[in-house]
């Protein structure tokens, strides 16, 4: 009986690794540096070495381990191929096969937004559900779609790219992706700041945010809204409007049990759910029953939880 598994979350700066029991208990977690030199050639060997060291430390052998799961910051095809991963310098490789050969342990690989969603399903805000859509509001906006307990990665690795859904075709500013009016432009941390600054420029209503434009953060906008600042509340309402709209799109496509909202912006808490629920409700009229909204619970550990979970059938 294999009792343990590893979850690896490969980021552009550091790699998080966790040792779990197959029941979902996190026994140990640590980080190593991401060495991106030479198109990230050393990354997998570094991970293998770190896992071998931990196994020695704890006197574990390959037979004790159900597998290693790994989340990477880019699209992963069904067969494990990573065509391009800009943040790591990788192109056209199969990291799960390569790491599997180094460790002689089965390795599975998926996009990091998907593994985070999987983690929230296993032990976080969506525990007990099997149809889960996770939306991560961070510097950008990411998403992960799980149906019937299975991560949906899509034929071209685009499944769950909810941040780049066009919510406002009339937008004049460009998103990083080259499109205009993506969800990310309104609902990411940078998006909230962008919208608040725009409102400060375009209106002369009083606001506690005035004069603070140069160092404005999403947290400052949320704090001002919670304290009753009308202009800040408008910026938050814009986020809720577009997030509610996208959740209605997703609902009328795959109709999940639950949406889990995570990422730095979700630290704002209940106010985020309230403002999103209001608009979500208004965009779905054909039914009075649809998915619940919940806050994510695992924070930055969601990725290692979900990666570890992938190793268990």
Q: Which is nearer to a second copy, 120 or 161 (CB)?
A: 161
Query: How far apart are alpha carbons 271 and 102 in whole angstroms?
Result: 47
Question: Which stretch of DSSP H or E encloses residue 8?
Answer: strand 4-10
Angle at 157 (CA atoms; ends 154, 161), nearest 5 degrees: 90
User: Is there binding between residue 313 and a second copy (CB under 8 A)?
Assistant: no
User: Is there binding between residue 171 and a second copy (CB under 8 A)?
Assistant: no
Is the four-CA dihedral 275, 242, 131, 253 of positive or negative sign? Answer: positive
Among the listed residues 255, 267, 281, 295, the single contact to a second copy using CB under 8 A: 255
Where does residue 53 rank: exposed (0-12), middle (13-18), buried (19+ CB within 10 A)?
Answer: exposed
Which window, 2-10, 145-153, 221-229, 262-270, contacts a second copy (CB under 8 A)? 145-153
Q: Give the β-pairing of 90-93 and 82-85.
A: antiparallel
Among the listed residues 34, 131, 190, 311, the single contact to a second copy using CB under 8 A: 131
User: Is there binding between residue 228 and a second copy (CB under 8 A)?
Assistant: no
Q: How far is CA 140 from the centre of its chain?
A: 9
Positions in 64-103 near a second copy (CB under 8 A): 75
Q: Which is nearer to a second copy, 96 or 131 (CB)?
A: 131
Those residues whose C-beta lies under 8 Å from the C-beta of residue 4, and which sit 6 or more positions away, are 19, 20, 21, 22, 27, 60, 64, 65, 66
Q: Which is nearer to a second copy, 24 or 154 (CB)?
A: 154
Which window, 20-28, 57-65, 98-106, 155-163, contacts a second copy (CB under 8 A)? 155-163
Query: How far apart are alpha carbons 280 and 246 in whole angstroms?
Result: 8
The minimum distance between CB 248 and a second copy, in angstroms, equals: 6
The minimum distance between CB 303 and a second copy, in angstroms, equals: 21
The minimum distance between CB 309 and a second copy, in angstroms, equals: 19
Among the listed residues 252, 269, 274, 278, the single contact to a second copy using CB under 8 A: 252
Number of residues that bind a second copy (CB under 8 A): 45
User: Is there binding between residue 158 and a second copy (CB under 8 A)?
Assistant: yes
User: Is there binding between residue 256 and a second copy (CB under 8 A)?
Assistant: yes
User: Is there binding between residue 289 and a second copy (CB under 8 A)?
Assistant: yes
Those residues whose C-beta lies under 8 Å from the C-beta of residue 20, and which sit 6 or more positions away, are 4, 5, 6, 7, 26, 27, 304, 305, 308
Q: Which is nearer to a second copy, 105 or 135 (CB)?
A: 135
User: Is there binding between residue 237 and a second copy (CB under 8 A)?
Assistant: no
Query: How far apart are alpha carbons 49 and 105 in whole angstroms?
Result: 13
User: Is there binding between residue 278 and a second copy (CB under 8 A)?
Assistant: no
> What is the total residue count of the chain?
313
Residues engaged in binding a second copy (CB under 8 A): 75, 131, 143, 145, 147-148, 150, 152-162, 164-166, 169, 175, 177-179, 245, 248-257, 283-287, 289-291
């Amino acid at each position: 009986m294999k009792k343990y598994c590893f979850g690896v979350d490969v980021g552009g700066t550091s790699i998080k690794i966790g040792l779990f029991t197959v029941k979902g208990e996190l026994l140990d977690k640590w980080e190593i540096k991401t060495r991106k030199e030479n198109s990230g050639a050393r990354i997998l060997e570094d991970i293998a070495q770190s896992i071998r060291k931990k196994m020695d430390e704890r006197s574990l052998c390959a037979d004790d381990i159900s597998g290693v799961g790994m989340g990477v910051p880019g699209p992963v095809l069904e067969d494990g191929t990573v065509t391009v991963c800009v943040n790591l310098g990788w192109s056209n490789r199969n990291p799960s096969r390569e790491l599997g050969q180094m460790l002689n342990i089965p390795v599975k690989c998926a996009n990091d937004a998907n593994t985070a969603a999987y983690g929230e399903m296993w032990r976080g805000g969506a525990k007990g559900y099997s149809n889960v859509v996770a939306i991560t509001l961070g510097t950008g906006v990411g998403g992960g779609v799980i149906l019937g307990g299975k991560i949906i990665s899509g034929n071209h690795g685009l499944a769950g790219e909810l941040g780049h859904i066009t919510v406002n075709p009339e937008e004049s500013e460009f998103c990083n992706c080259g499109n205009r009016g993506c969800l990310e432009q309104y609902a990411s941390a940078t998006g909230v700041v962008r919208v608040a600054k725009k409102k400060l420029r375009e209106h002369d209503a009083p606001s506690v945010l005035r004069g603070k434009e140069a160092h404005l953060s999403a947290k400052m906008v949320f704090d001002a809204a919670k304290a009753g600042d009308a202009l800040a509340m408008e910026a938050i309402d814009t986020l809720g409007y577009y997030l509610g709209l996208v959740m209605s799109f997703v609902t009328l496509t795959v109709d999940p049990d639950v949406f889990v909202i995570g990422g730095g912006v979700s630290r704002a808490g209940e106010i985020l759910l309230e403002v999103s629920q209001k608009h979500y409700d208004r965009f779905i009229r054909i039914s009075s029953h649809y998915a619940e909204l919940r806050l994510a619970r695992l924070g930055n550990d969601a990725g290692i939880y979900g990666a570890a979970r992938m190793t268990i059938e």
